[in-house]
Amino acid sequence: NDGMNSRPKVAVAVFVLKGNNKVLLGRRRSSVGRDNFALPGGHLEFGESFEECAVREVKEETGLDIDKIEYLTVTNNVYSGVAKPTHIVAIFMRAFLVDQNQMAQNLEPEKCEGWDWYDWKNPPQPLFGPLHTMAENGFSPFPDPTDC
Ligand code: 8DG
Ligand code: MG
Ligand code: MG
């Protein structure tokens, strides 16, 4: 049920932030964006808030517990160069670790090669489509140090 007769899907992707410059990224094994570095995230389920989806997807994919979840931005992307073309509205959130020392686990190894912390100012390449564009445009997921 994908392609032209289908409708766009909503996804939530989460910038899990550590310190002043680190974000959690993993290399994708899923067909859309395969081998590209992406954030943890997934599809919004019926009845979920963006915050609930962020908490659930980060927990399912990495085992990490997050809080201080905030909305950042949204992108609208059509992925046509794959077997099942998809149109995804992606909601980008940011969040912090409840416990700064908690380690990320690769809980869905069929979808991701593994998680690690990377400097957002010097990210691994290639970044997954929407993230690549955001990085090129100088987007920062970190809170502005002037608002407290
Ligand atoms: P689910 O079955 O667990 O609900 O979904 P998933 O398998 O975890 O989905 P996903 O592909 O990880 O995420 C859903 C879509 O979100 C993905 O196909 C495209 C969009 N998306 C972006 N940017 C990012 C990103 O940085 N990370 C993730 N995970 N998804 C992203 O547009
Ligand atoms: Mg998922
Ligand atoms: Mg996912």
**Per-residue pLDDT tens over the stretch 52-63:** 999 999 999 999
Q: What is the pLDDT of residue 140?
A: 97
Q: What is the pLDDT of residue 148?
A: 61
Alpha-carbon gap, residue 147 to 102, rounded angstroms: 27
Closest ligand 1 atom to residue 86 Cα is 18
In a 3-state reduction of DSSP, which class is residue 2? Answer: coil
**What is the ipTM score, two decimals?**
0.97
Give the tens place of pLDDT for each residue, 21-68: 999 999 999 988 999 999 999 999 999 999 999 999 999 999 999 999
List the structure tokens of 35.
């081998």
Alpha-carbon gap, residue 31 to 142, rounded angstroms: 29
* Residue 112 bridge partners (DSSP): 28
- pTM of the predicted model, to two decimals? 0.95
Contact 17, 23 (CB under 8 A): yes
List the structure tokens of 66.
């997050």
- Å from CA of 56 to ligand 1 middle: 13
Compute the mean pLDDT over every residue in the chain, rounded to the nearest whole number. 94
Proximal ligand: closest to the CA of 26: 1
Ligand 1 touching residue 22 (CB < 6 A) = no
